[in-house]
Structure 1
Amino acid sequence: MPCRGRRLPDRKAADGPASEGNGASGSRGLEEGGTIRAKADHPKGAVLCFPKKSVGATENAVLFAVGAEGATRLEHCAREPEVVHLCRFLKAMGAEITGEGTEQITVYGRRGKRLLSGCRYRVPGDRIAAGTYLLMGAATRGHLTLSGAPLDEMGAVLSLYQKIGGQYTRKSGTLVADSKNVQHAVPYVETEEYPGFPTDLQSLYLAAAMTLEGKSCICENVFEDRLRTAEELQKMGGTLQICGKWLTAEKSRLHGAEVVSQDLRGGAALVSAALAAEGFSTIRQTELIERGYERFPETLRELGAKIIVEKEI
């Protein structure tokens, strides 16, 4: 299992799926050089409590518990929509799960040799992808329509969008957003667990903040490596200051530059800043971006962006 950017020091324990209960659940785990190896010959249900909330740890524990014998109670779980959708998908396949969307999830594992069965399941819209396009529209003062956006899961980003001057209407899963009046920065933004402002959209707001009047102070509480994108944005003329987990952004005259994607969301933020900047920008390591967005360059072209992908030349 490859590891992504480091969590802040006081949250690292959350990345290990319920480490306190591994022995009780019949599993053994070992970490070697950034790779986690785990084995469970006869997994059994247990009570597992996460020291910190973590989407990945919760999801892995749910998947493990579905295949274990007996009931497993997971405490201090992440409540993000992605966890809820995973549980609903497993329930559609025959799993018995209660409590998804709360801090306590109970999974009633397999009995005897009973296995999950196939099912038909509609994958819901991606709230982070929808938030990405919304904030890119804010950075470029664009107008866009998002169909199938999970609006009920986007409260934090929609609230921020309104605060900076964005206007939107919503109807039957469609979001129509108009950024022509986007103007003022939000003085303080803090990334939090759901339903707070998501860390995955911190870099996207940062790109937009550099086009706004005033100063934004951003506190990154989840992944410290998210701040690496700020260094690349400085190459484009971004007026940014980094101090620990804090970052301040001021209105900047952005210009084209050659920059490198540091991660999936940071790479999307670089594209957003490049679209808002004067001149031509080159962004390297775009494979990091494309692994998280379907038809990303094509979608942006359909919205009016001028983008050339080197492999197409």
Structure 2
Amino acid sequence: MDRIAITGGARLNGTIPVSGAKNSAIKLMAASLLTDEPLRLTNMPRLADTRFLGKLLTRLGVQVTESDGPDGQQTLLHAPEIMSGFAPYDLVRQMRASFNVLGPLVARSGQAKVSLPGGCTIGARPVDLHLQALEALGAKIDLHEGYVYAQAPRGLKGAEITFPIVSVGATEHAMLAAVLADGVTVIHNAACEPELADLQDCLNAMGAKVEGAGTPTITITGVARLKGATHAVIPDRIEMGTYAVAAAMAGGEVRLTNARPGLIDALLDKLKEAGAGVEPTADGVIIRRNGQRLDSVDVETAPFPGFATDLQAQFMALMTTAKGESRIRETIFENRFMHAPELMRLGADISVSGGEARVRGVEQLEGAEVMATDLRASVSLVIAGLVARGETTVSRIYHLDRGFERLEEKLGACGAQVRRIKGDGEAEL
């Protein structure tokens, strides 16, 4: 099993291009099930998660072709017909978001059998809201032996959907199903993350009629069919925020390109409050730190436009060497402080109580062997390793490969001493 090794102490100086957003790309790929014409996605990241979903879509009848085009990395998806409405557990369990093929399958072919995604290390995250939305649209839902059987032989019908809590996945799923429903669907208490607006733009380019994505109320007027389209995936705000934190942690000056700093204003405000330099540019942002120790800053996760839960672990790593004590409150997912004990192995002073962690900054972290517990936790350990004395080795980095494209290459280009150690013990620079 591969590992990442980091030798701490190098400042970061250079440019890092931000990849397309993983959390958007996988939902856009699922949209290919809604049309018999080709959907071309540009600015596509090459990640374990997109590969997992590509395998599942291929099984369902989608022709998936990756290539390098004039607009960079692209994926062409074409489903002239749905060959199967069955999504088995061995594929769905690899990535929760693959459950979102259920709605498009029912919308286009009237039926589907999709495995429940199973548990998750950062909380239960049940799919009840997804199923309630589909039932509101007229689908008949049955659960048997870990599978969801959904049927709508006469098609889905527009409906009023009110979510009791904000859910990004359920909002996206409802959108994907409702675009082919007969009539008007209104989604209340919808998630407002930028990925929702990106999905709306793609669906509308395919001929859908969606309004309001990015606000709490989304209105969808169903159409009889969708067509093919070309759509550029938005930049990954979590990757952008991760490298911004890494630059603030290691010191130096890093220019992030192909980025939209407005998508991470909450993080950038906290970086400035801590003492890092933040300078927006025409195509991204520059992060600077001249070597002075940062100040401790309190953060609380919240739905967009608040501080993203997917940046919480990275910011905790940053605070481990800041002056004073910071409090980090997690309000989105339970059980999302599993990186804290691993950071403590590097010498961090952290105490966790319920949904709050207190981080008391130390003068110096020390390299050690640590283990990734989930996607965002894994990169927090890399960030800490950038300043830890000696070598830090992060194992179970298959989590990292799910969401970060060419991480060693991007950090290495800025001077970081980071390398991948292959499972057989051979190091790969």
- The TM-score, its normalising length taken from structure 1, stands at 0.91
2:192 corresponding residue in structure 1:
79
| 2:254 alignment partner, SS class | strand
Query: 1:304 and 1:104 mapped to 2: Cα distance?
Result: 45
Does structure 2 conserve the Cα–Cα contact (< 8 Å) formed by 1:99 and 1:106?
yes
Query: 1:7 and 1:52 mapped to 2: Cα distance?
Result: 16
Q: Pairwise mapping of residues 158-169 of structure 1 onto structure 2 (< 5 A)?
A: 158-169=268-279
1:136, CA displacement in angstroms?
A: 0.9
Change (3 A) 1:193 1:70: same
Does structure 1 conserve the Cα–Cα contact (< 8 Å) formed by 2:133 and 2:174?
no
Counterpart among 135, 139, 145 of residue 23 in structure 1: 135
1:96 corresponding residue in structure 2:
209
The CA deviation string for residues 48-95 of structure 1, in whole angstroms up to 9 with x for no partner, is 111111111111110011132222111100000011111111111111
The CA deviation string for residues 177-200 of structure 1, in whole angstroms up to 9 with x for no partner, is 1022451011x2100011110000
Change (3 A) 1:28 1:262: farther
Change (3 A) 1:6 1:169: closer
1:293 corresponding residue in structure 2:
404
Change (3 A) 1:30 1:133: farther
Does structure 1 conserve the Cα–Cα contact (< 8 Å) formed by 2:296 and 2:322?
yes
1:153 corresponding residue in structure 2:
263
1:39 corresponding residue in structure 2:
150
**Worse-matched range after superposition: 261-270 or 134-143:** 134-143
- The TM-score, its normalising length taken from structure 2, stands at 0.67
Q: Does 1:308 align with 2:400?
A: no
Q: Which runs of no fewer than 5 residues in structure 2 stay unpaired?
A: 1-98, 100-116
1:38, CA displacement in angstroms?
A: 4.6
Q: Does 1:48 align with 2:158?
A: no
Query: 1:214 and 1:92 mapped to 2: Cα distance?
Result: 50
**Worse-matched range after superposition: 100-109 or 303-312:** 303-312
Q: Which has the higher contact order (CA 8 A, sep 6+)?
A: 2
The CA deviation string for residues 245-264 of structure 1, in whole angstroms up to 9 with x for no partner, is 01000112311111111111
What is the root-mean-square deviation of aligned Cα atoms in Å? 1.9
Query: 1:92 and 1:287 mapped to 2: Cα distance?
Result: 34
1:245 corresponding residue in structure 2:
355
| 1:255 alignment partner, SS class | coil
* Alignment size in residue pairs: 304
Q: Pairwise mapping of residues 1-313 of structure 1 onto structure 2 (< 5 A)?
A: 1=99, 2-3=117-118, 4-7=120-123, 15-29=127-141, 37-41=148-152, 42-111=155-224, 115-180=225-290, 181=292, 183-186=294-297, 188-252=298-362, 253-311=364-422, 313=427
Instruction: Give % identity.
Output: 34
Does structure 1 conserve the Cα–Cα contact (< 8 Å) formed by 2:142 and 2:150?
no
Structure with more strand by fraction: 2
1:17, CA displacement in angstroms?
A: 3.3
| 1:281 alignment partner, SS class | strand
